[in-house]
Amino acid sequence: MADIQTANARAARGHVFKPPHSDQSFPHASASVETSMSVFFEEGRFALPKREIETLAQWIHSWNTTGSKQHLHIGGAYETSRTNRLRRLGFMMTLLQQLGVPQKRLHPEDDWTTSIRMGSMDDVPVDEVWLKLREFQSS
């Protein structure tokens, strides 16, 4: 039943997001587990709205199982200035750990710290953050 609710929530809000450089499939994931999704920050906020947190928690619960080797890569927030992207990243990292993703399996993309554009402290637009699963490859 939770899978149906998750699918309905994603379809209703369009949360599934595949970055242009993403793989189209995740070879070891079950067919019902999405390999990527996106969440949306509201204007002027550094925390996600409650509905976004709930959807994210359901998605994480669908793949974050005991013994999972899946790592979570986080990118996006392209519209937000660097200073406020770092604030939003701090929130995301803390939230993801609270939702049960170990810190060693969280990987922010370089775009979080790259100075794409400068902005004021009040420059906090609506913005999208993508999350993508990748399996850890040992060397």
Does the model's pTM come out above 0.85? Answer: no
d(CA 128, CA 45): 12
Assign a CATH topology to domain 2-17+35-135.
60s Ribosomal Protein L30; Chain: A; (3.30.1330)
Spans of all domains in the chain: 2-17+35-135
Q: What is the pLDDT along the chain (139 residues), one digit of tens a residue?
A: 333 333 333 333 344 333 333 343 333 444 456 799 999 999 999 999 999 999 999 999 999 988 888 999 999 998 998 889 999 999 999 999 999 999 999 999 987 877 666 666 677 899 999 999 988 665 4
